[in-house]
Chain A
Amino acid sequence: MTHASVVELYSAVCPWLALVWCLQRVAGLIVPSLRGWALLAVAGAIAVVVLLVPVQGLVMARWVAGLNANFSIPLTVILAVIVWERVFEPSLLAEREWTTAWSFGAIGGLALYPMALGLGSFDPYEWGWPFSPLFVVIGALTVLLIWKQNRFGFLLVLAAVAFQLRLLESTNYWDYLLDPIYSLVSIVWLAGGFVTSMRSSRTKRYSKTLPPNISTI
């Protein structure tokens, strides 16, 4: 198998996981009896078949690659974890590790995309090709997270390994760490969490001001 084939195969992993996750959710609604390994096997097989369906001479997986061929390693692993956690009980990532994952995607995306698309004279994307402060910062963050026993650090190790193996079409380190979908989901997730916590704190303040015999809904 050539390196180009490996890269093409890997580009289908993220779409496959996303499809498996969607099928898991749909199956939960229409075939609730299908659970665990059986559900994973059926959803996985259907997702493979769907991605191999040829349309105008191209399999579906390559149509997806036409839209995005560089799904980041964190997004891929996060999808794998979500698929895993719908099948098995033990959570692979703790609450604080999810927060780290979404924070990394949001902060990284806000640091990268606006400037890379022309806002300001500095293009941080340039830092992803040669050895640069990006590698130092991500290296230090990885060590810190692992030291703090935060498993998101291992996702960053996987991203570094994938970069060394050139698993993506891109040769830029940023693309192994972030992609627009991951960053957008992260920002939406964090914004949703922020709004929820604001509402919650307002409700608490409001209920404190009420007389003891009146409760809020």
Chain B
Amino acid sequence: MDPGVVLSVRHLAIDYMTRRGPVHSVRDVSFDLHKGETLAVIGESGSGKTTMAVSLVRLSPRAARITKGEILYRTADDEIVDVRSLGTEELRQYRWSELAMVFQAALNAFNPVITIWEQFHDTGQAHGYGDSKKIRQRADELLRLVHLEPDRVLRAYPHELSGGMRQRILIAMSLMLEPQVVVLDEPTTALDILTQRQIIDLLGDLKRRLGFSLVFISHDLSIAAELADRVITMYSGTVVERASVQDLFYRPRHPYSVGLLQAVPRVSGELGSVSSIGGSPPDLVHLPPGCTYEPRCPFRIPECKEAEPALLAVDLPDHDARCIRWKEVAATVGSKEVPIAVKAAAAS
């Protein structure tokens, strides 16, 4: 593991056991998270992004089984641990204090019948933060950090707060034990535009001040464009592309990333040629032998059906795509810093 890497996921595979047979929900997912880096995992529903994220804190549902791979983590003391082999007590230490997870749907993440103060208190106690006074001090400090008034918020029950406030409280709580890594699942989904903007700005600001590493899962490309340093695109359970944010948005090398970018209309600038991806994702129980995107892919050739390609290094540094046709994609997309929809409009 490279010294600058804090979290390294290697060849991770997760199946869900169902009556139809195992659902290969996560397949051969590998990525490194560097210290202080913001990594966005983008993909549509069913791409395996949440399943992968939840496995990072070992909170997968009982039907899920990790069949392969490693989740390596470098502690603050520079020790490398495999999250998969942690015992109960070690796992408790690891969660929150090393890696904290903020779940999707801010309402469900709280216990609805206790106040925000009690939620802070429970979390603090469970992780041995100290006495009530110390927890209260920390809660006050954290809530101010996310621009909330502690006296007002701590007395409230979750339902009395707006979605944006709840999301900010969850972010504040996740920082209680100063974790090195924060994982956010769909941090701004279901929030209004102006509230979403506050959360995005808050995350950027907190990261600059506290220097933690951030992984966030989103189906919304625009949040990735806004916050990420690096982006991984997931499709049918696996990573199809890994690149810097600039490369992914202007110089994608996997046809699915290209399709996704062309499917999202923008508010500013030229609209360009916007279009959907035809077809639908494969059945994760009965996967085709070749590339899983092949049936929908405009770049496909007969060889694509033969075997699932590996993540291949492309013509740009630190950039991989799971596509044997990346050169053809590169020839079409080029390297200019122009949005894909605008390039497509120019080409047609």
- Bind each other: no
Binding site for A on B (CB under 8 A): none
Binding site for B on A (CB under 8 A): none
